[in-house]
Structure 1
Amino acid sequence: MARPAHRLTMAALALAAGGATAALPTAPVHAESLTAASTATVRLHPTSSATQSPAAASAGQRTAAPKPGGEAPVRRRLVGSWTTSTDRVTAALGGQTVRMVVRASIGGTGTRLRLSNVFGEAPVTFENVHVGVQAYGAEILAGTNRPVTFGARTSVRVPPGQAVWSDPIPGRIAGGSALVVSLHLPGTVRGVTGHERAYTTTYLSDPGDHAAEENGEGFTYTSTQWYFLDRVAVEAGAATIGSVVAFGDSITDGAGQAVDANRRWTDYLRQRLAHESPSRRMGVLNAGIAGNRLLNPNVGPSGLSRFYRDALSQPGVRTVVVYEGINDISRGAYTSIKPIVYGYKRLIREAHARKVKVLGATLTPFYGFGTWTPEREEIRQRLNEWIRTSKAFDGVLDFDRAVRDPEFPEQLAVAYDSGDHLHLSDAGRRALAYAVNPRLL
């Protein structure tokens, strides 16, 4: 069972009632049709609501009515608060309820969830979806579990290869909230879209619909995968400047941490940015896949093929941190850095074409790991020098310098090594977060 959370802390993060809503399109939205480039807006008047066009829903922008006294209207837009990168996962689901816990990186109103069947082979029906705030384990804080609708309906059928956003959920969530999303799956699902290494407990029920229940008594099984849910976004005010996407492999995904610890380097970055100036609030989105490679598919699609879907199509994306390539080096036979440099340049072009800033992170040491060789170390060193000096990226995050052993820079400092000489300890992941210059974001 998940580590209990303090009830008083969670109570402070409860969903608050109220807030204007606007409906999203009733048809499923394709996973790669949501671009941050659209600028359509909808104006909501004080005594009425409006239905957004598909373009406006994709952009997630709207302007609230002018305040009394002639104050300027408050412009709000959809910004990513949580994400995970998906693939097809091995799972047998159906006729039961799935209850997942995810942590919102920023708060806001009009929360939306996205359910994905991108890697599915057949349509998937979701019934009686609910979202609440975690008390502990599978239990939801009393009074916070709310129904989620899709085109004003309580169920939605998502075709294979597609994903769908929910309608806005009334109320406000706070940044750092542990949200509990419950999905009832009335039929058997083969070909499950999900995330293999969530490092978070997911609760699975006995047969039946337990989505609306706030107690966790109906959930008797657990896993450490996420299923179908791949995004949470909120309507954020002008103080939120957008979101930063961490695009990477297992070091970004969170390898080395305990289950339910929430100690990915992106979790530490979220905590750090929460103490920054209110004018620089950002969503922090983790698009890491353990085992992923930049150039070729291995675990999950290659970084090149998933970059648009997992990074550039995120609502409100402002910056992407590219921290990927160590699996290409450590398991490849490259004699030149040119193929990986080509891959980086392609990602940079794609990001710049959509006016998204892209930062390059140097690759951290792996001396002592089973696949290390002097030849692979030379490629890593040369590639890091290119990242630092080429000026191809909009900025550089020197993760290598942050965690390497000053006396032996080919290896991780002992305090930052999880024990396998590749993945980082909690202290090492924290060091990455504090190596980020917030002004670059």
Structure 2
Amino acid sequence: MVRVAGGGSRVRIRLSNAYGAGPLRITGASVGRSAGEAQVWPGTVRPLSFGGRAGATVAAGRDMVSDAVALSTSPLEKLTITLYFADRTGPATFHRYTTTTSYRASGRHLDDSDAGAFKESTNAWYFLSGVEASGGTSTRRGTVVVFGDSLVDGTGAAVGADGRFTDKLAERLIADRRPLDVVNAGIAGNRILSGSPCYGDKAGDRFRRDVLDRPGVRSVVIHLGANDIGAPEMGDPCMGAAPRVSARQIIEAHKKLIRAAHARGVKAVGATILPMKGALFPLYSEQGEKVRDAVNHWIRTSGAYDSVLDAARALADAHDSALPRPGFVFRDGLHPNEAGAHAVASAVDLNEL
């Protein structure tokens, strides 16, 4: 289940076998208008092809784009993408946490409009790494990629409610008739300095794939560093190595992302690191807070970024900037709830994108 930011007259999908151990054989795929949950509006299902064929094989470590199919879509409309695998896939390339529900069934159900066969569900997206609209007004549009960690990914947002701050940013852009679509490239737990078994490649290693290679990218908003600072406190084996880091290390990593963006003519917007003191799990330390303050001061004042999204100030308590504002956070005491997501999206200067 995917909500497209901008509309168009044609649609194609992007599939990834980046982490596969061998070739991935796709037997068939289709796209249709979502009718809610696992239902598709009757008469809207379109078979997808790959180089004119119904199926395709994606080599390990590679991705593949389908042929474009005629399907008129409106901004913020939800689509259903159905993939059929007749053979074993091997290790799956997937996004383990999303704020939508996906559904599974045994057998071939590419043309189904009813939900009867789809008995299992998950909050992960498997193999699907993009949905791209073209034609119509989309030919005059560009893309802003929001790149980062759980603030971007949407931890704290209600499942199925499109309540991430990136969703609210997309709504602002549409309402203001701005020619930009929003791509969410957040991974909960992601770090700028280190990769990990559960939270993805470090930011520098995935920046080209997840940001610079997106069609029509004009700007990138970057929120990273919170997990690098908090990892030593968490004791999470999923993090892998969790060394203490300095503000200088994080800043130098940000500079590399800025240089990579500028080399491709992409505008870079720095987002300050959200308040961490209120977290109801081990994350905050006094030393870590000093690092966060130093990184945020650099983002705000150095001029290295083309523009600044001050997410920290948008979410901070009025009396203690290390704490989030009451009523703006999810029950974990860290991530923004709907009101907090609205505050962050409202803090974006649309003219700077």
Into which bin does the TM-score normalised by the smaller protein fall?
over 0.9
Match of 2:269 in 1: 359
Query: Is 1:219 aligned with 2:118?
Result: yes
Asked if 2 retains the 8 angstrom alpha-carbon contact of 1:411 and 1:421, the reply is no
Match of 1:417 in 2: 329
Q: CA deviation at 1:335?
A: 6.2
Q: Which has the larger Rg? A: 1
Aligned partners of 1:419, 1:367: CA distance in 2, in Å? 14
Match of 1:439 in 2: 351
Query: Is 1:285 aligned with 2:174?
Result: no
Aligned partners of 2:45, 2:102: CA distance in 1, in Å? 17
Structure 1 residue ranges without an equivalent (≥5): 1-100
Aligned partners of 1:419, 1:304: CA distance in 2, in Å? 31
Give CA-to-partner distance per residue, 1:253-289, whole Å, 9 cap, x none: 0101222121111011111111113xx2211000000
Match of 2:235 in 1: none
Query: Is 1:232 aligned with 2:131?
Result: yes
Q: CA deviation at 1:216?
A: 1.2
Match of 2:237 in 1: none
Query: Is 1:390 aligned with 2:302?
Result: yes
Give CA-to-partner distance per residue, 1:268-322, whole Å, 9 cap, x none: 1111111113xx2211000000110001002100011111111111000000001
TM value normalised by structure 1:
0.75
Give CA-to-partner distance per residue, 1:153-181, whole Å, 9 cap, x none: 11111111111111111132111111000
Correspondence list, 1:26-41, <5 A? none
Match of 1:67 in 2: none
Q: CA deviation at 1:419?
A: 2.4
Aligned partners of 2:162, 2:258: CA distance in 1, in Å? 29
Query: Is 1:348 aligned with 2:258?
Result: yes
Query: Is 1:145 aligned with 2:45?
Result: yes
TM value normalised by structure 2:
0.93
Corresponding residue SS for 1:414: coil
Match of 1:380 in 2: 292
Match of 1:306 in 2: 206
Structure 2 residue ranges without an equivalent (≥5): 233-242
Asked if 1 retains the 8 angstrom alpha-carbon contact of 2:229 and 2:245, the reply is no
Query: Is 1:325 aligned with 2:225?
Result: yes
Correspondence list, 1:186-205, <5 A? 186-205=86-105
Match of 1:23 in 2: none
Q: CA deviation at 1:238?
A: 7.2
Give CA-to-partner distance per residue, 1:240-264, whole Å, 9 cap, x none: 4410000010111010122212111
Q: CA deviation at 1:218?
A: 1.0
Aligned partners of 1:267, 1:275: CA distance in 2, in Å? 12
Q: CA deviation at 1:128?
A: 2.4
Report the identity percentage.
Answer: 38
Give CA-to-partner distance per residue, 1:116-151, whole Å, 9 cap, x none: 111101111112211001112111001111100111
More helix, by proportion:
2
Which of 1 and 2 has higher RCO (CA within 8 Å, sep 6+)?
1
Corresponding residue SS for 2:169: helix
Aligned partners of 1:116, 1:218: CA distance in 2, in Å? 25
Aligned partners of 2:306, 2:139: CA distance in 1, in Å? 23
More strand, by proportion:
1
Which amino acid is the alignment partner of residue 61 of structure 2?
A: G
